[in-house]
């Protein structure tokens, strides 16, 4: 059952409720959400719910209908996130685990680790104990393989995962491994699941060869019921009549499980297909279906692999796959999880947790608009740290001022929309604040929703508020309702706040669906934008002393040119002669100088910084008022 606690519950009342339930044989788990705190109580004994409802501090009691209690979304509405060191599986990011099927030797696993780490993997896989169909096949190196795996993980800064096949191996494996993997053959090895659960270690549970979704979730329940708190599910294909591929990937299980359960869901496209060439398209399909991550087999030389060579990717194939995932991620409103480079100076936004010494001001991030704005969505997508606090500002200049004055450590502003073009105000502000620099960027897809009061329906709507651009971007949908009055408002999320304040069924707003949750409103219609190819690029700005980014992949500069023939061409030749790729070029009038222009450029940076540095030196002689706006990693 779910026991919803009163918001102002006293600690002694909370303790008495827990004691009452545990005395009657229930296992109790406290879950603190944004809106409410609950107790999840699971046990074998029956109880009259009214006995619980009358206890002091209890707001209401909700029975859980699903047989899998702790894994059910009835118990926990918010998605769980599995945390292993710097890696988080679940939420807004896509995590990729990669490595060979089995650890074959120290040099092999070390080479594989460096290879997949460079391409963007965040966790290293490798089997030390291999359950094989044939007793004559390679069974793994055992504890020696675990030692090699741990050494490779430590050398590359990645947590490691390996399959466990027996309860007797738990103590040995947790000495070397960060996440235990329960393979398909052991999904219903209940004694193994009980033993792992009792140790409360992170665990990945693969779906059995012929298991139904409910059987899979019931296996997860064994882990959770015996104490496991960090569990991630993995779909790896099921056995069907089809023989062309190794297994049949049940792609529909991803959205189904994410509806039924709060647990993260990963996909193993390698075992799902068993064919190297089929792994990338199936992996991308899994991401499109909503998977929280992938576990992919990659080998330095697959033809020489002792296990599963035909389904292991070549290094260049894995590199291409990671680039494709990065391109696809914004479409499903996610970002590809990246680990910070080792031994580098890492800003707070680059994927590390905030230190205990960090002050609240250091973690504040300014954005323009009300809570729930697209800018807030962008900063939450970009930042890894849970301690980051969004700080709403009334306008873009206030964002820059908040960072300059030290009230916020970073600020995030939109620079360009794929449909409406550049946000010129922010390009001009970048020029007016020379002590601030761009330190990062993120792109998000702009999805508009019609939002009304909790009691309203689309038939009730008579008036719609939104930013003029929001109204324009939903023109086709609004044209289907010509009787509606369209009211321009200063901000999309602000329009939702305004509608919430009015509390009228006939009034609605157009904004990001997440704004509906912020203001406890109702989404009446989702995805109403006219053009789905609607993306906005945001820039993260910081004070110059906080602007260092290791291994940047992009730079933004601005300059003017002398009033002479071919002046701009001469500047472009400086970049071309050093093989620097120009990603954007735009002109803006110079304030106070009619008919004179500044040129804004985005440039792709090679791994060797020398060509760009030489180009900047030459541009300083060729152009006028040259300024570097920032070097950062492209989003």
pLDDT averaged per 10 residues, the chain (length 635):
85 89 84 75 75 87 83 88 90 93 94 95 94 76 94 95 95 94 95 94 96 96 91 96 94 96 97 96 97 97 93 95 89 83 36 34 81 90 78 94 92 91 90 92 92 95 94 94 95 93 96 91 93 90 84 92 90 94 90 82 92 94 92 85
- Determine which one of 318, 538, 559, 612 is catalytic: 538
pLDDT score recorded for residue 130: 81
| pTM of the predicted structure, to 2 decimals | 0.68
Beta strand spans in 106-230 (E): 123-125, 160-164, 179-182, 203-206
Give yes or no: 359 in active site.
no
pLDDT for 354 = 32
pLDDT of res. 633: 87
**82-336 matches 449-526 in fold:** no
CB 191 within 8 A of CB 173: no
What is the homologous superfamily of the domain 449-526 according to CATH? Answer: Periplasmic binding protein-like II (3.40.190.10)
User: What is the per-residue pLDDT for 562?
Assistant: 87
Structural domain boundaries in the chain: 2-62, 82-336, 449-526, 551-635
Contacts of 179 (CB under 8 A, 6+ apart): 84, 123, 159, 160, 161, 201, 202, 203, 204
Q: For the domain 551-635, what is the CATH code?
A: 3.30.70.260
For the chain, helix (H) and strand (E) counts, in that order, are: 21, 30
CB-based contacts of 514-519 (< 8 A; 24+ apart in sequence): 514/372, 514/376, 514/377, 515/370, 515/371, 515/372, 515/373, 515/451, 516/372, 516/449, 516/451, 517/372, 518/371, 518/372, 518/493, 519/371, 519/372
Instruction: Match 């919803």 to its residue by tokens.
Output: 4
From the list 536, 559, 561, 612, the catalytic residue is 536
Query: What pLDDT does 2 receive?
Result: 83
Clarify whether 536 is annotated catalytic.
Answer: yes
Superfamily grouping for domain 2-62: Phospho-2-dehydro-3-deoxyheptonate aldolase; domain 1 (3.30.70.1140)
Name the class of domain 82-336. Answer: alpha beta
CA distance 373 to 496: 10
Alpha helices (H) in 503-607, listed in sequence order: 513-518, 567-577
């Amino acid at each position: 059952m779910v026991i919803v606690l009163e918001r102002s519950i006293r600690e002694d009342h909370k303790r008495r409720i827990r004691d009452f339930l545990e005395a009657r044989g229930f296992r109790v788990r406290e879950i603190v959400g944004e809106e409410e705190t609950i107790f999840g109580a699971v046990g074998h004994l029956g109880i009259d719910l009214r006995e619980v409802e009358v206890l002091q501090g209890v707001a209401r009691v909700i029975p859980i209908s699903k047989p899998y209690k702790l894994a059910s979304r009835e118990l926990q509405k918010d998605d769980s996130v599995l945390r292993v060191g710097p890696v988080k599986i679940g939420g807004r990011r896509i995590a990729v685990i990669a490595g060979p099927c089995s650890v074959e030797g120290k040099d092999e696993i070390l080479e594989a680790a460096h290879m997949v780490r460079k391409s963007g993997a965040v966790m290293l896989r490798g089997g030390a104990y291999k359950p094989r169909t044939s007793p004559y096949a390679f069974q793994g190196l055992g504890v020696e393989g675990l030692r090699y795996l741990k050494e490779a993980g430590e050398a590359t800064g990645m947590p490691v995962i390996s399959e466990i096949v027996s309860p007797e191996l738990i103590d040995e494996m947790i000495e070397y491994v960060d996440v235990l993997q329960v393979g398909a053959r052991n999904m219903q090895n209940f004694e193994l699941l009980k033993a792992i659960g009792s140790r409360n270690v992170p665990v990945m549970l693969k779906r059995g060869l012929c298991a139904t979704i409910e059987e899979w979730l019931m296996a997860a329940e064994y882990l959770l019921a015996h104490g496991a708190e960090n569990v991630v599910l993995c779909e790896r294909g099921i056995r069907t009549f089809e023989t062309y591929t190794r297994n049949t990937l049940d792609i529909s299980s991803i959205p189904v499980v994410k509806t039924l359960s709060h647990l993260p869901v990963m996909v193993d496209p390698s075992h799902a297909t068993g064919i190297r060439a089929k792994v990338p398209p199936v992996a991308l399909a899994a991401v499109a279906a909503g998977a929280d991550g992938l576990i992919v087999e990659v080998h330095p030389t697959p033809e020489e692999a002792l296990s599963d060579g035909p389904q292991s990717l070549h290094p260049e194939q894995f590199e291409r796959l990671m680039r494709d995932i990065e391109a696809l991620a914004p479409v499903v409103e996610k970002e590809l999880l990246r680990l910070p480079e080792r031994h580098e100076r890492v800003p707070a936004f680059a994927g590390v947790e905030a230190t205990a010494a960090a002050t609240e001001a250091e973690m504040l991030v300014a954005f323009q608009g009300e809570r729930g704005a697209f800018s807030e969505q962008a900063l939450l997508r970009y930042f890894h740290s849970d301690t980051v606090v969004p700080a709403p500002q009334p306008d873009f200049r206030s964002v820059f001022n908040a960072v300059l004055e030290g009230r916020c450590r970073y600020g995030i502003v939109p620079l360009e929309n794929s449909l409406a073009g550049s946000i010129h105000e922010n390009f001009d502000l970048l020029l007016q604040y020379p002590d601030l620099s761009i330190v990062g960027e993120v792109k998000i897809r702009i999805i508009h929703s019609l939002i009304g009061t909790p009691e309203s329906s689309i038939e009730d709507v008579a008036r719609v508020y939104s930013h003029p651009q929001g109204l324009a971007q939903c023109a086709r949908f609004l044209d289907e309702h010509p009787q509606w009055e369209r009211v321009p408002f200063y901000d999309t999320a602000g329009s939702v706040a305004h509608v919430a304040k009015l509390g009228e069924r006939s009034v609605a707003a157009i904004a990001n669906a997440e704004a509906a949750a912020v203001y406890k409103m109702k989404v009446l219609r989702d995805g109403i934008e006219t053009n789905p190819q609607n993306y906005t690029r945001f820039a993260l700005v910081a004070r110059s002393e906080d602007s260092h980014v290791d291994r940047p992949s992009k730079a933004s500069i601005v300059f003017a040119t002398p009033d002479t023939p071919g002046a701009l061409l001469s500047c472009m030749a400086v970049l071309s002669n050093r093989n620097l790729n120009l990603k954007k070029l735009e002109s803006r009038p110079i304030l106070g100088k009619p008919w004179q222009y500044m040129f804004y450029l985005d440039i792709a940076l090679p791994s060797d910084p020398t060509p760009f540095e030489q180009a900047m030196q030459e541009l300083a002689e060729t152009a006028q008022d040259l300024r570097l706006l920032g070097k950062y990693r492209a989003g």
